[in-house]
A and B are shown apart, each in its own frame.
Chain A
């Protein structure tokens, strides 16, 4: 008790005089990044059997660590409960939260955080059995749909049905588990929730190949890492590291060919990106080969996606909306120049 009161007193005394420190300086002085992740979301972040953190969100932090320290392991992973994910950034407990967090206006303006670049376009979709023969949500007219009660999920379903003049018969459940179990046992023709979760639920089906996730996404859940509001230099650094990984996919620079590209590529974007020409890294307070190091460590956006969520992972989610803008997706980042 004494300890706590002492600490509180010390805290209050210093609270007023405390200045806004630059996160990058803190991180460099500390020697590692504090990266907030989720306690376990399949494909996005969870400790594997060896206790190492793996996943899509985790790799974003690894890329950042490689960009700053030329070493993808200079990270302390802080598992955050859902209620903490915004507060932990505000209080400085973590330098960034990379934890399946939807970019909303309220969080961005009112809760003291800034969002960087969207890493994953999630949104509500449908899963159904292949034998039903539905190739699109428009073929689901009259279908029974398992959905959780009282959530935006249920409202989104109604809106989608009205907008497309479809008739659904919602079968409403208290929790997600119950809804999934009901779908598994055949109570409903289709199941609706966020697409990333549908992919995880599909694996738990006795015959995953017999289920298909339909292409329509009908709610906006842009997931982006977030940082504390007010440190623009740090926000730029995180934003442009992610943008760089996406640009690397656009220009075909991969983990495997990065060295070769750095030596021989004539593409001016690639040269700037890998630090051959220009001093773009110094704009962020980093070495000019920051992106080269990040790509060498974790690969470009496409490789990170495939490894954790896509074709090389058990989740096997199609790129869908998360394909590059040149390939019909939504991934479009400002040019690196």
Chain B
């Protein structure tokens, strides 16, 4: 009779070496130091989360007036609800609110059409370059639409107009400046360098003050350029100087072999620049370029120093309403949330662009 060796089944690992306990030990209690850190971390979380939860949700007031909010003690979300219109469009006339919304939809439609590549790239570029015109026309009126004075624009509307138009104009302008800086014509080169270095040497706040206070001193009394346009031009100048330097970095990063190859094929220098050098350069500098766009969006909040009530400014103004005094925190939390959504969205979109760009040029 042969005895066949029957291995007894494996003992399970001791409880301290498997499952949740092992995971916990490995990750949180692997040494004395880590154990202390773990307890410290848990302590901090326990100290922070419950009061935050209390304020944000449990004691918060979602429906009710200011007195009910103060009595409840938590966040007053009904304040944001009551002032929602003000947050979004400031003093813009309610019955014309469809116009900024239409402008927003136009932007969104063009964005989707471009992202899904529903039209050839060249057509898309032309549409994007022209977009500031319909935006200002829809929001500001004129040419058949009732005109709305820029002093009534405010809130998120103003922030978006300033930043969208700012980005759309300053990117091409920045590219032109960068090309001008590489120009062989001394005059153009000198002018571009002077402009870029002057603007980069001055903080945005100074430019805004110049636009709001100094410029009117130089204008004849009959001549008026609305403060909004002056500020918009200031923002565009500021941003395009930085974009010019970003683009210059990209241009320098394209190997000289590319332009030499194009030259040996007999391509015109303009064609070489437009279709060979620039696309590669822009692809290389997409991350900092998107970074500049995000920075511009956030920089527009500085216009409060010249009395324009952008999204941040209107949040402050809304919390000064005598009916709703003392809810600054809610206004700022709401404000931060919207800014975060906008900036994060822009940054995610930038990421997807980068992936597509690298795939195309690998």
Contact = CB atoms under 8 A, between A and B. Distances in A.
Given A84-B307, A204-B325, A314-B322, A50 B233 contact: no
Contact of B314 (A47, A53, A83, A84): A47
B89 A15 contact: no
B83 A206 contact: no
A315 interface: yes
Interface stretch (A34-42, A119-127, A326-334): A34-42
B82 interface: yes
A47 B153 CA distance: 12
B145 to A, nearest CB: 19
B91 A47 contact: yes
B227 A93 contact: yes
Interface in B82-134: 82-83, 85-86, 89-94
A235 B209 CA distance: 28
A92 B216 contact: yes
A87 B212 CA distance: 10
B320 A11 contact: no
B171 to A, nearest CB: 16
Given A51-B86, A84-B212, A76 B325 contact: no
Nearest to B88: A51
Contact of B90 (A15, A47, A315): A47
Interface string A201-244: 00110100000000000000000000000000000000000000
Interface residues of A, number: 45
A60 to B, nearest CB: 17
B223 A43 contact: no
B309 A39 contact: yes
Contact of A51 (B71, B92, B307, B313): B92
A4 B219 CA distance: 11
Contact of A84 (B149, B215, B218, B306): B306
Contacts of A12: 218
B317 A46 contact: yes
Nearest to A184: B326
Given A21-B221, A40-B316, A206-B70, A51 B321 contact: no
B333 interface: no
Interface of A: 1, 3-4, 7-8, 10-12, 14-15, 18, 21, 39-43, 46-53, 76-81, 83-84, 87, 91-93, 200, 203-204, 206, 308, 313-315
A42 B321 contact: yes
B53 interface: no
- Tier of interface size on chain B: 35 or more
Contact of B219 (A7, A52, A78, A203): A7
Given A42-B325, A87-B213, A50 B314 contact: no
B304 interface: yes
A145 B217 CA distance: 45
A253 B215 CA distance: 45
A47 B218 contact: no
Given A40-B317, A92-B221, 18 more contacts: A7-B215, A18-B221, A39-B309, A39-B317, A40-B318, A46-B320, A47-B90, A47-B309, A48-B323, A51-B86, A51-B152, A77-B91, A78-B151, A79-B308, A79-B317, A200-B325, A314-B322, A315-B322
B297 interface: no
Nearest to A93: B216
26 contacts: A1-B195, A7-B215, A7-B218, A8-B218, A11-B220, A12-B218, A15-B220, A39-B307, A39-B309, A42-B320, A42-B325, A49-B83, A49-B321, A51-B85, A51-B89, A79-B151, A79-B309, A79-B313, A79-B317, A80-B307, A81-B306, A84-B213, A92-B216, A206-B73, A314-B66, A314-B322
Interface centre among B220, B225, B227 (most CB of A within 10 A): B220
A81 B91 contact: no
A10 B306 CA distance: 24
Interface string B241-253: 0000000000000
